[in-house]
């Protein structure tokens, strides 16, 4: 199962430790050469490839609730992991066998100081551990595959890629934590005016992730990214006990570009007012019929039902549903839609994108990749794991430190050749409601994320989790806010029902969780009109709202 969620954001460059001696990239490169030569001479089986990764993160986090500070801290960590490949690029220890995916990496702490001795001892021990595990797995899977029938189509286990050398200077990082403490105390106190809100918080997180990557092909990389994010969240209950929540967020690559107090105060008021209305809204009934997904909702929709199924490694895994494995060169979307992934794009209008990077986690340069062109599938998101017909990476090998790389999403763009205004899109929705003789259509304004299953043994389905949904009536009555709705469906059927797109793209930033851990992603889409969408009711725990009266500032609460 793969899950997309709102997340506290990230980006950066490299800030070296304050120790003595050579920079970390030189220490890692020297130890890589030493270990590779020793294992080539003595190892049986011998390695043909080794890669080292190091990530140094500096994070500042401040949060407040009801005028009081909840957390204020700063952390700095450095982690290491390595990949060792034994055998040949055609068949190695990462070979997929019976759905058994190899996992050798783990996040191992490194000293923050660039002192050669302590760093090299940790790297040496990890390399030895991973090599022994890699050699054992290669022997085991060779035996296993000899007892199995050969698949109809085969591909190598590892692709050849040109080495890359790039050393980027560390970007400036200056987060005024004490100023944000005072700001969040004041801003968070405004939620006290709304008694229906049971939990509220305003948080800011600023992080710099700095990466070093070296391998035995000659790649030597030093790069990173920074991002800051303000998140507003409120939670409570409806009168029937249903749990309710809303959020808002603002991202910026530099904390100096985060919103002003005036903008944040307006966001607090807007969020609280919308939540109060949501508590009074009726519970929605299950529904099948026409709907509009706002740009943000459509972005999550595409991330879940399309993005995961287009990741390259799923096309060679017999345990996966392989929805699109045989569809290259055929239409899979309406002809007016294209889908592009572009990790090199840093911003959409005024919004910084979380899925941006210069090099992926296998040292391959990021690039713009058109997966669907005018409705026709052209290729897949590729790491250095080849699949039939696609022997090379296109810069989408990604992972969280301590995980193994697989092909993952970056910045997803839904592009449309024909556009209508929001007013025209709404008119088309009402026409579709009348055509289908439905009492109303739906407008999905805000979502919080979703999840999907892609495995062959499970149901090929998805769920998108809306927060703000309206009924749109064909007779001109005002839209009605409703609650308790989840979007559900199956992918191929859903694609066929997209009728039109607006001319205003919107951004969803968040984290995507899958086999290689949590990675930051963005999805950008115009609003979409869909002829038929299915919803179901959310589970309701049935717990009553608080029985005791809320305390007042004087403490009596009576």
The tokens describing 253, both together, are 């690559």
Task: Give the model's confidence band at 148: pLDDT under 50 very low, under 70 low, under 90 confident, else very high.
Answer: low
Which DSSP string do the residues of 456-474 spell out, in sequence order?
TTS---EEEEEEEEEEE-T
Share of the chain above pLDDT 70, in %: 89
Average pLDDT, the chain: 89
pLDDT tens-digit readout, 50-64: 999 999 999 999 999
Closest CA to 97 of 53, 12, 157: 157
Task: Give the model's confidence band at 555: pLDDT under 50 very low, under 70 low, under 90 confident, else very high.
Answer: low
Residue entry with tokens 């088309």: 428
Residue entry with tokens 């130890």: 31
* HEC secondary structure over 301-339: HHHHHHHHHHEHHHHCCCCECCCCCCCCCCECCCCCEEE
The answer to whether the Cα torsion of 251, 253, 254, 256 is positive or negative is: negative
The tokens describing 91, both together, are 């068949």
Task: Give the model's confidence band at 478: pLDDT under 50 very low, under 70 low, under 90 confident, else very high.
Answer: very high
Task: Give the model's confidence band at 332: pLDDT under 50 very low, under 70 low, under 90 confident, else very high.
Answer: very high
**Bridge partners, residue 468, by sequence:** 446
Task: Give the model's confidence band at 457: pLDDT under 50 very low, under 70 low, under 90 confident, else very high.
Answer: low
Closest CA to 58 of 175, 212, 166, 167: 175
Q: In this predicted model, which residue has the larger pLDDT, 188 or 547?
A: 188
For the entire predicted model, the pTM comes to 0.90
> Taking residues 317-331, what's their average pLDDT?
77
Task: Give the model's confidence band at 467: pLDDT under 50 very low, under 70 low, under 90 confident, else very high.
Answer: confident
pLDDT tens-digit readout, 392-427: 999 999 999 999 999 999 999 999 999 999 999 999
Task: Give the model's confidence band at 304: pLDDT under 50 very low, under 70 low, under 90 confident, else very high.
Answer: confident
Residues 6+ apart with CB under 8 A from 306: 339, 491, 495
Most confident of 75-89, 231-245, 527-541: 75-89
Q: What are the contacts of 160-165 at 24+ separation with CB within 8 A?
A: 160/89, 161/217, 161/362, 161/363, 161/364, 161/384, 161/392, 161/393, 163/215, 163/217, 163/218, 163/219, 163/363, 164/219, 164/220, 164/221, 164/359, 164/363, 164/364, 164/365, 165/218, 165/219, 165/220, 165/221
Residues 6+ apart with CB under 8 A from 5: 448, 449, 510, 511, 513
Neighbours of 142 (CB within 10 A): 15
Task: Give the model's confidence band at 7: pLDDT under 50 very low, under 70 low, under 90 confident, else very high.
Answer: very low
Q: Is 189 in a helix, a strand, or coil?
A: helix
Least confident among 168-182, 386-400, 444-458: 444-458
Task: Let me know: does 225 contact 10? Beta carbons within 8 Å.
Answer: yes
Looking at residue 200, its pLDDT comes to 97
Looking at residue 558, its pLDDT comes to 47
Share of the chain above pLDDT 90, in %: 73
Looking at residue 126, its pLDDT comes to 98
Q: Parse the chain into domains and list their residue ranges.
A: 10-280, 287-537
Looking at residue 539, its pLDDT comes to 74
Measured in degrees and rounded to the nearest 5, phi and psi for residue 301 equal -55, -50
Task: Give the model's confidence band at 342: pLDDT under 50 very low, under 70 low, under 90 confident, else very high.
Answer: very high
The tokens describing 548, both together, are 């005791």
> Taking residues 353-380, what's their average pLDDT?
97
Residues 6+ apart with CB under 8 A from 231: 6, 8, 201, 202, 203, 204, 205, 247, 248, 249
What is the CATH superfamily name and number for domain 10-280? PmbA/TldD superfamily (3.30.2290.10)
- Is the pLDDT at 13 greater than 60? The verdict is no
> Taking residues 510-522, what's their average pLDDT?
91
Looking at residue 239, its pLDDT comes to 86
Q: How many residues does the chain have?
A: 558
- Is the pLDDT at 113 greater than 90? The verdict is yes
Task: Let me know: does 513 contact 3? Beta carbons within 8 Å.
Answer: yes
Looking at residue 554, its pLDDT comes to 56
The tokens describing 10, both together, are 């990230």
């Amino acid at each position: 199962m793969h899950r997309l969620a709102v997340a506290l954001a990230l980006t950066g460059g490299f800030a070296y430790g304050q120790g003595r001696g050579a920079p970390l990239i030189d220490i890692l490169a020297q130890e890589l050469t030493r270990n590779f030569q020793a294992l080539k001479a003595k190892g049986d089986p011998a390695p043909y490839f080794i890669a080292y990764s190091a990530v140094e993160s500096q994070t500042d986090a401040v949060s407040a609730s009801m005028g009081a500070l909840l957390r204020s801290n700063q952390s700095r960590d450095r982690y290491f992991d390595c990949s060792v490949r034994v055998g040949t690029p055609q068949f190695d220890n990462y070979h997929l066998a019976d759905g058994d995916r190899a996992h050798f990496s783990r996040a191992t702490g490194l000293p923050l100081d660039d002192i050669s001795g302590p760093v090299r001892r940790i790297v040496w021990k990890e390399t030895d551990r991973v090599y022994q595990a890699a050699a054992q797995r290669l022997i085991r899977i060779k035996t296993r595959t000899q007892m199995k029938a050969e698949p109809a189509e085969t591909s190598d286990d590892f692709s050849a890629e040109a080495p890359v050398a790039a050393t980027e200077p560390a970007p400036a990082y200056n987060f005024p934590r004490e100023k944000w403490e005072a700001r969040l105390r004041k801003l968070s106190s405004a939620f006290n005016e709304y008694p229906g809100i049971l939990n509220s918080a305003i948080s800011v997180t600023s992080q710099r992730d700095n990466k070093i990557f070296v391998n035995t092909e000659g790649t030597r990389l030093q790069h990173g990214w920074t991002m800051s994010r303000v998140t507003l969240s409120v939670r409570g209950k409806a009168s029937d006990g249903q749990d309710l929540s809303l959020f808002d967020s603002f991202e910026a690559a530099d904390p100096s570009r985060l919103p002003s107090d005036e903008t944040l105060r307006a966001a607090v008021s807007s969020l609280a007012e919308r939540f109060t209305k949501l508590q009074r809204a009726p519970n929605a009934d299950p529904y099948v019929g026409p709907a509009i997904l706002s740009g943000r909702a459509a972005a999550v929709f595409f991330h879940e039902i399309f993005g995961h199924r287009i990741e390259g490694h799923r096309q060679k895994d017999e345990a996966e549903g392989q929805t699109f494995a045989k569809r290259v060169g055929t239409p899979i979307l309406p002809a007016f839609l294209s889908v592009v992934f572009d990790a090199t794009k840093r911003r959409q209008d005024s919004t910084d994108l979380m899925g941006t990077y210069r090099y992926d986690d296998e040292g391959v340069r990021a690039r713009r990749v058109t997966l669907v062109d005018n409705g026709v599938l052209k290729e897949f998101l590729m790491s250095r794991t080849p699949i039939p017909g696609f022997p090379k990476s296109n810069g989408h090998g990604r992972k969280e430190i301590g995980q193994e790389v697989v092909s993952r999403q970056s910045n997803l763009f839904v592009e449309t050749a024909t556009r209508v205004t929001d007013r025209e899109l709404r008119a088309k929705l009402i026409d579709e409601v009348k055509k289908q003789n439905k009492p109303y259509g739906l407008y999905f304004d805000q979502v919080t994320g979703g999840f999907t299953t892609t495995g062959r043994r499970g149901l090929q389905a998805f769920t998108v989790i809306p927060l703000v949904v309206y009924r749109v009536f064909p007779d001109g009555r005002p839209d009605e806010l409703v609650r308790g709705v989840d979007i559900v469906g199956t992918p191929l059927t859903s694609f066929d029902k997209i009728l039109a797109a607006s001319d205003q793209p919107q951004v969803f930033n968040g984290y995507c969780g899958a086999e290689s851990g949590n990675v930051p992603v963005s999805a950008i889409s115009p609003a979409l009109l869909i002829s038929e969408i299915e919803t179901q009711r959310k589970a309701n725990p049935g717990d009553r709202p608080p029985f005791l009266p809320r305390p007042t500032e004087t403490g009596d609460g009576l």
